[in-house]
């Protein structure tokens, strides 16, 4: 019997929970061999700086550079790429960049303060990070869209210095990635990737400046390196392979849904595409579409493995059961391909991005709708949010007391003495003596 293109599950069948858990598990994150390899790379970059980054870039990306400075592309080179690309592509990048900028402008937080009756002023001061490190993946595919999604929120936040890294396998530069970096206003661009690039951004080397926070997705080596350098540097999140979860009432064209499932499956063999529907005949129709359309994909080999290993068509009793499953999976992308997505929305608790209605394919969000495509994966939308301007802003609390703030002084003194911290108490009492 031919192997089926995708798993078929029924949420009411015995053993469903275990089957679903097995599909959702993404074990690679805790792979010990990868963790050990990454630890050696991080340690080498920490101690040998540029030389180690160059050695690993030669080893993993086939670079022939003889110094790390050869792997830095001046901003004039980025502009040259922008000037030379096809005019339709340039217009599409600029259109996407503008929409991403407009959306993210709504996220910008401002400082605030308020005054109390005794003259005490309290507030919060918002400041951008000094320097951000942007990781743009480049191993199996190049991602100009990820350049925009990483850099534009940082720009909107007002970060003065953006350092971008992106690998160039075989030393072959991707001109569209460079052009996107020019549009987004990247300050320094290094053609390096993997754990060595993450370590270089975290610790700094002779050539690469240390950054305050590293953002952006990447493969298992990148994700593991980010995990290992956290604390030395801030992070946005640890992103895993791309995912899509579609909920459909059975009334959307099955070819549309099949292509939406492929759109994430084509990223990576580890990517995950799941469809949930109460209509078994519709699940059959989508399965047939998947079989018919798979051979027409450029990346059929990758998408085929992804669907076979981690994809699923899941039958549920009704839409309430579908929503319950959504919250359990907590997907990166959720498509609500139904007549009235607004009716389901109040009950959706966990999803990185929600695509509402039959005419909102997830692919638009990947490129140009406006919201960010760097999103929490592997169930982490339970506690994490999309990359945004807030990731590039920090908050400082502001406190200014007046000579009249004796009530505050008294409370501090009483609490400090209850903790036997008498210097704390006396610091308050010197200003506002106890009566
Ligand atoms: N969430 C998002 O927004 C988003 C966007 C785009 C891509 N992605 C995901 O990012 C990932 C990109 O992965 P990628 O591999 O294409 O590019 P990548 O840039 O993340 O990784 C390439 C690097 O991996 C390192 N590497 C490869 N094999 C190695 C080995 N054996 N030992 C040590 N290091 C090694 C190399 O240094 C290389 O430079 C995919 O999973 C894709 O789905 C996510
Ligand atoms: N779907 C990816 C995030 O999971 C982002 C992307 C970039 N290009 C195409 N898609
Ligand atoms: Zn995508």
Give 176's contacts (C-beta < 8 A, 6+ positions apart).
81, 85, 89, 93, 142, 144
Using only the alpha carbons of the chain, give its radius of gyration. 25
Ligand 2 touching residue 242 (CB < 6 A): yes
> To which residue do tokens 């592309």 refer?
73
Helix (H), strand (E) counts: the chain: 17, 15
291 among known catalytic residues: no
Q: In the prediction, which pLDDT does 434 show?
A: 83
Nearest CA to ligand 1 atom 40: 219
Residue 114: CB atoms within 10 Å: 8
**Which ligand is closest to the CA of 135, given by its number?**
1
Q: Distance from the CA of 258 to the center of ligand 3, in angstroms?
A: 14
Q: Tell me which of 175, 243, 287, 332 is the catalytic residue.
A: 332
350 among known catalytic residues: no
How many angstroms separate the Cα of 208 from the Cα of each of 45, 148, 197, 219, 258?
A: 11, 21, 9, 21, 44
pLDDT digits (tens, 9 = 90+) for 96-146: 999 999 999 999 999 999 999 999 999 999 999 999 999 999 998 899 999
Any known ligand binding at 228? no
Q: What percent of the chain has pLDDT over 70?
A: 99
**Which ligand is closest to the CA of 332, given by its number?**
2
Average pLDDT on 358-380 reads: 97
The rounded distance, in Å, linking the Cα atoms of 57 and 68 is 9
Annotation: CATH topology of 32-112+129-235: Rossmann fold (3.40.50)
Domain definitions of the chain by residue range: 7-26+240-373, 32-112+129-235, 405-435
Ligand 2 touching residue 373 (CB < 6 A): yes
The rounded distance, in Å, linking the Cα atoms of 90 and 372 is 20
Q: Tell me which of 7, 104, 333, 350 is the catalytic residue.
A: 333
Q: In the prediction, which pLDDT does 435 show?
A: 77
Nearest CA to ligand 1 atom 31: 60
Cα 192 → chain centroid: 19
- Say if residue 30's pLDDT is above 80: no
Q: What six digits make up the tokens of 26?
A: 């993404």
Mutate to test the pocket of ligand 2, among 96, 135, 146, 374 (most ligand atoms within 8 A of CB): 146
Ligand 1 touching residue 337 (CB < 6 A): no
Burial of 248 (0-12, 13-18, 19+ CB in 10 A): buried
Nearest CA to ligand 1 atom 28: 60
Nearest to 218 by CA among 193, 187, 188: 193
> To which residue do tokens 């400075």 refer?
69
Ligand 2 touching residue 263 (CB < 6 A): no
What is the sign, positive or negative, of the torsion defined by CA atoms of 379, 381, 386, 391?
negative
Nearest CA to ligand 1 atom 27: 60
Element housing 274 (H / E): strand 272-277
Any known ligand binding at 196? yes
- Say if residue 319's pLDDT is above 60: yes
- E strand intervals along 343-392: 353-356
- Say if residue 1's pLDDT is above 60: no
Contact present, 9 and 312 (Cβ < 8 Å)? yes
Q: Which atom of ligand 1 is nearest to the CA of 268?
A: 43
User: Across all residues in the chain, what is the average pLDDT?
Assistant: 96
Count of CA atoms in the C-beta half-sphere (13 A) of 402: 9
Residue 394 pairs in a beta bridge with 127
Protein residues placing their CB within 5 Å of the ion ligand 3 = 366
Phi, psi of 7 (to 5 degrees): -70, 145
The rounded distance, in Å, linking the Cα atoms of 266 and 302 is 6
- Say if residue 2's pLDDT is above 70: no
Ligand 1 touching residue 306 (CB < 6 A): no
pLDDT digits (tens, 9 = 90+) for 188-240: 999 999 999 999 999 999 999 999 999 999 999 999 999 999 999 999 999 88
Q: Is 384 helix (H, G, I), strand (E, B) or coil?
A: coil
Q: Which atom of ligand 1 is nearest to the CA of 374?
A: 3
N- to C-terminal Cα distance for the chain?
Answer: 90
Average pLDDT on 262-276 reads: 96
ipTM of the complex: 0.98
Asked, colleague to colleague, whether 7-26+240-373 and 32-112+129-235 share their fold, the answer is: yes
CATH number for the domain formed by residue range(s) 7-26+240-373: 3.40.50.1980
């Amino acid at each position: 019997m031919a192997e089926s293109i995708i798993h078929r599950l029924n949420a009411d069948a015995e053993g469903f929970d275990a089957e679903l858990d097995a599909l959702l598990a993404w074990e690679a994150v805790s792979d010990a061999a990868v963790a050990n390899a990454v630890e050696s790379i991080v340690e080498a970059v920490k101690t040998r700086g540029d030389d180690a980054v160059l050695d690993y870039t030669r080893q993993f990306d086939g670079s022939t550079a003889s110094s790390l400075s050869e792997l830095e592309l001046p901003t004039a080179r980025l502009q040259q790429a922008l000037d030379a690309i096809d005019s339709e592509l340039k217009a599409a990048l600029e259109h996407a960049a503008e929409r991403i900028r407009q959306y993210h402008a709504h996220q910008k937080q401002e400082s605030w303060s308020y005054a109390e009756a005794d003259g005490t002023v309290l507030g919060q001061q918002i400041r951008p990070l000094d320097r951000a490190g942007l990781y743009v993946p480049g191993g199996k595919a190049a991602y100009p869209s990820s350049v925009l999604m990483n850099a534009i929120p940082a720009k909107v936040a007002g970060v003065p210095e953006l350092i971008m890294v992106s690998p160039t396998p075989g030393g072959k530069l991707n001109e569209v990635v460079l052009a996107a970096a020019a549009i987004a206003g990247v300050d320094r661009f290094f053609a390096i990737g993997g754990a060595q690039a993450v370590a270089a951004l975290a610790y700094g080397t002779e050539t690469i400046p240390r950054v305050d926070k590293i953002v952006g997705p990447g493969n298992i080596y990148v994700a593991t390196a980010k995990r290992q350098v956290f604390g030395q540097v801030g992070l946005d999140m640890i992103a895993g392979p791309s995912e899509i979860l579609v909920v459909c009432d059975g009334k959307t064209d099955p070819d549309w849904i099949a292509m939406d499932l492929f759109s994430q499956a084509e990223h990576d063999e580890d990517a995950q595409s799941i469809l949930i529907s109460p209509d078994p005949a519709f699940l059959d129709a989508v399965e047939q579409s998947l079989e018919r359309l798979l051979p027409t994909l450029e990346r059929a080999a990758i998408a085929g493995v992804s669907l076979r290993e981690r994809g699923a068509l899941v039958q549920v009793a009704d839409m309430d059961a579908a929503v319950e499953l959504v919250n359990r999976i907590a997907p990166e992308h959720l498509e609500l391909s139904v007549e009235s997505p607004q009716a389901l929305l109040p009950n959706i608790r966990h999803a990185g991005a929600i695509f509402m209605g039959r005419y909102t394919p997830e692919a638009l969000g990947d490129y140009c709708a406006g919201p960010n495509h760097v999103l929490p994966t592997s169930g982490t939308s339970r506690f994490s949010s999309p990359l945004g301007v807030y990731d590039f802003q920090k908050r400082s609390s502001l406190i200014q007391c007046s000579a009249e703030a004796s009530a505050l002084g008294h409370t501090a003194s009483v609490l400090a003495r209850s903790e036997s911290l008498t210097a704390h108490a006396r610091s308050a009492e010197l200003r506002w003596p106890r009566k």
